[in-house]
């Protein structure tokens, strides 16, 4: 914090220089990230801890929006200087919403909090938890200095680098397919769609070539792929059909899905509705087809019934799920988590195997502690007088803490329509139970442990939760508010992270959206589309993007989507 000439408010730095009387400024490539940081803080006493955040996606931006920058020396490193509202990304592919309407500069987000912080547009390529440093590299830029590498030390590191598209090593995907993960991807798709139409309208083509040029293939029947297919279908029918009357008849949209159905994370009723709607509209649904190869001209897919078939295509969008970023793979090796897909953290989002590193969003997952692993410790904690048996009263005393620490217990009771812990006991009349009886009672409880999905909703809630923990670090250090430590003494400082599912949407095109809200509330139709509009407008990070998104929708209603090949 005090090493780089540019990283410290001038007056503060000078004050330090005068009072401490030390010249600890060492300028150089790597000495910038200086190890004197914490020494100085101990000497000085007032120095803020250095909090470094990697990434500006949902988790990172949500953390930054909530962190109190007056308590920490906040540094952000990300290759993008903006946050992007991912749920509207498929809308950008066809110009229903403009790219800039769904992005908000990170500097704006933090400045609104009145906070001082530093942002560096660079990519972190290595985390070094042993020496508490990260190594970064800034992207290329014509004529501009600063392509070099630099290192940043940290007291706390918050990793929110997200994931990358998963190609499952399918040959030709990286070279020939579009992804739909970044704003630039959506912009490229939009331009390519128009190119496909313009190419199909050229005079010197055969019918087959025309057909090929406007054969749009979506690989992956998840929400992103399905929404893109629906958007494209609307774009073609509502806007392009009028402008390209001769091309219209050649257009074909295919969705290839390896499983039996599309939108499998939704209720079956939604899946069926979507499939029926797509079939009615002439979108070619190819379920149980696995793409095995993509060349510049054809997509080869296989199916037990048909074997391998190759179809010519004009534009392909690969949207089959997420994979691990190289930096996370490397980091996992260092902290003893090799061969995992994402970083494992505890319920407080702390990365297993190292100190002061937190991970959230798509690059991490919470490994919920199993009850059966801790059952002996639970017994010990509950059995305060070491009698070797638990009474119902003894259990009740710690039950609140157990519910908080192991949410699967409560979930298990709920799922099995039990009213309380008492129902878990087979012999409900028994006054006491020993360790073996407790184990029996809890044996099935861990079946309820589920991984959280890699969604924006989870990442945003994690970011807000972690920022709140950081903001109340000192308070909670003194009066911890978490559950009893089962394997240690005292209480946890914070309550563990608990995800609250607010429901999910699947826009299906034609002003119809499927919604699945908590409490098994399912609805598909035009009214849900308006719910979707209002939820997504309200969830915008700023009034600016809110206004832009709403006016984009309005413009589309009045004038249609733009078909300039930009």
For the beta sheet containing 133-137, the strands, ordered from the edge strand earlier in sequence to the opposite edge, are 123-128, 133-137, 149-153
In sequence order, what are the residues at sequence separation of 6 or more whose Cβ sits closer than 8 angstroms to the Cβ of residue 297? Answer: 212, 312, 313
- Rounded to the nearest whole angstrom, what is the least distance from the CB of residue 234 to its own copies in the complex? 17
> Cα(178)–Cα(189) distance, rounded to whole angstroms?
7
Task: Pick between residue 201 and residue 292 the one whose CB is nearest to its own copies.
Answer: 201
The nearer residue to its own copies, 37 or 192, going by C-beta atoms, is 192
Kindly tell me which of 100 and 290 has the beta carbon lying closer to its own copies: 100
Do residues 47 and 23 make contact, with C-beta atoms less than 8 angstroms apart?
no
CB of 246 to its own copies, least distance (A): 6
**Sign of the dihedral through C-alpha 118, 124, 126, 129:** positive
Residue 73 Cβ vs its own copies, minimum distance, rounded to whole Å: 13
- Long-range CB pairs of 411-417 (<8 Å, 24+ gap) are 411/448, 412/444, 412/445, 412/447, 412/448, 415/448
Contacts of residue 222, defined as CB under 8 A and 6 or more positions apart, other chains included, come to 262, 263, 265, 319, 320, 321
Q: How far is the CB of 70 from its own copies (least distance, A)?
A: 17
For residues 370 and 546, which CB has a smaller minimum distance to its own copies in the complex?
A: 546
Closest to 309 measured CA to CA, from 292, 284, 297 = 292
Q: DSSP 3-state assignment of 507?
A: strand
What is the nearest approach in angstroms of its own copies to the Cβ of residue 290? 20
Q: How far is the CB of 134 from its own copies (least distance, A)?
A: 12
Q: How far is the CB of 182 from its own copies (least distance, A)?
A: 10
Which H helix or E strand runs over 517? strand 512-517
Report how many helices (DSSP H) and strands (DSSP E) the chain contains, helices first.
21, 26
Which of residues 169 and 204 has its CB atom nearest to its own copies in the complex?
204
Q: Which is nearer to its own copies, 39 or 201 (CB)?
A: 201
Strands (E), 58-117: 72-78, 82-84, 103-105
Q: Which is nearer to its own copies, 131 or 479 (CB)?
A: 131
**Closer Cβ to its own copies, 316 or 467, answer by number:** 316
Q: Cβ 156 to its own copies, closest distance in Å?
A: 18
Between 42 and 144, name the residue whose CB sits nearer to its own copies: 144
Residue 73 tokens, joined: 């020396």
Alpha helix positions (H), 150-182: 173-176
Write the DSSP string, 245-256: HHHHTT-EEEEE
Interatomic CA distance for residues 345 and 324, integer angstroms: 15
How near is the Cβ of 107 to its own copies at its closest, in Å?
4
3-state per-residue secondary structure call for 184-222: HHHHHHHHHHHHHHHHHCCCCCCHHHHHHHCEEEEECCC
122 or 283: whose CB is closer to its own copies? 122
CB of 147 to its own copies, least distance (A): 8
What is the Cα–Cα distance from 101 to 551, expressed in whole angstroms? 9
């Amino acid at each position: 914090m005090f090493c780089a000439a540019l990283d410290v408010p001038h007056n503060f730095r000078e004050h330090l220089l005068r009072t401490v009387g030390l010249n600890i400024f060492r300028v150089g490539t790597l000495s910038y990230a200086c190890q004197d940081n914490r020494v100085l803080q101990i000497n000085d006493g007032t120095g803020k801890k250095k909090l470094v955040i990697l990434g500006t996606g949902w988790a990172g931006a949500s953390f930054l929006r909530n962190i109190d920058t007056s308590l920490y020396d906040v540094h952000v490193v990300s290759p993008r200087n903006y946050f992007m509202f991912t749920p509207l990304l498929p809308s950008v592919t066809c110009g229903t919403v403009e790219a800039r309407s769904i992005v908000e500069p990170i500097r704006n987000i933090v400045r609104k909090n009145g906070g001082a912080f530093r942002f560096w547009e660079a990519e972190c390529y290595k985390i070094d938890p042993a020496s508490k440093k990260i190594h970064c590299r800034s992207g290329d830029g014509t004529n501009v200095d600063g392509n070099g590498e630099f290192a940043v030390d940290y007291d706390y590191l918050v990793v929110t680098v997200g994931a990358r598209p998963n190609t499952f090593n399918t040959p030709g995907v990286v070279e020939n397919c579009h992804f739909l993960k970044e704003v630039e991807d959506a912009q490229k798709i939009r331009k390519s769609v128009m190119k496909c139409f313009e190419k199909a309208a050229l005079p010197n083509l055969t019918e087959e070539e025309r057909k090929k040029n406007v054969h749009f293939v979506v690989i992956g029947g998840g929400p992103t792929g399905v929404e893109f297919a629906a958007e494209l279908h609307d774009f073609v029918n509502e806007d392009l059909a009028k402008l390209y009357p001769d091309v219209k008849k050649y257009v074909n949209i295919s969705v290839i899905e390896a499983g039996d159905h599309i939108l499998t994370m939704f209720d079956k009723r939604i899946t069926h509705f979507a499939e029926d709607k797509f079939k009615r509209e002439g979108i070619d649904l190819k379920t149980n087809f696995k793409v095995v190869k993509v060349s510049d001209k054809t997509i080869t897919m296989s199916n037990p019934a048909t074997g391998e078939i190759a179809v010519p295509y004009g534009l392909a969008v690969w949207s089959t799920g997420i994979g691990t970023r190289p930096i996370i793979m490397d980091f996992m090796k260092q902290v003893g988590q090799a061969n995992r897909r994402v970083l494992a953290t505890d319920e407080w989002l702390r990365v297993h195997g190292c100190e002061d590193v937190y991970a959230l969003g798509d690059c991490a997952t919470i490994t919920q502690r199993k009850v059966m692993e801790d059952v002996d410790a639970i017994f010990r904690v509950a059995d305060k007088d070491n009698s070797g048996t638990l009474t119902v009263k003894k259990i009740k005393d710690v039950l609140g803490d157990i519910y908080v620490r192991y949410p699967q217990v409560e979930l298990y009771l709920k799922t099995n329509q039990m009213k309380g812990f008492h129902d878990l006991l087979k012999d409900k009349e028994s006054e006491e139970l020993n360790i073996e009886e407790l184990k029996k009672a809890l044996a099935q409880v861990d079946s309820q442990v589920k991984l959280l999905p890699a969604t924006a909703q989870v990442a945003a809630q994690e970011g807000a939760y972690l920022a709140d923990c950081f903001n109340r670090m000192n308070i909670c250090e003194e009066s911890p508010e978490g559950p009893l430590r089962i394997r240690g003494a005292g209480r946890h400082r914070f309550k563990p992270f608990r995800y609250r599912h607010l429901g999910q949407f699947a826009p299906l095109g034609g002003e119809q959206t499927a919604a699945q809200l908590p409490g098994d509330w399912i609805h598909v139709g035009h009214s849900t589309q308006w719910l979707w509009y209002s939820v997504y407008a309200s969830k915008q990070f700023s009034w600016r993007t809110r206004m832009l998104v709403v006016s984009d929708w309005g413009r589309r209603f009045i004038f249609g989507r733009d078909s300039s090949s930009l």
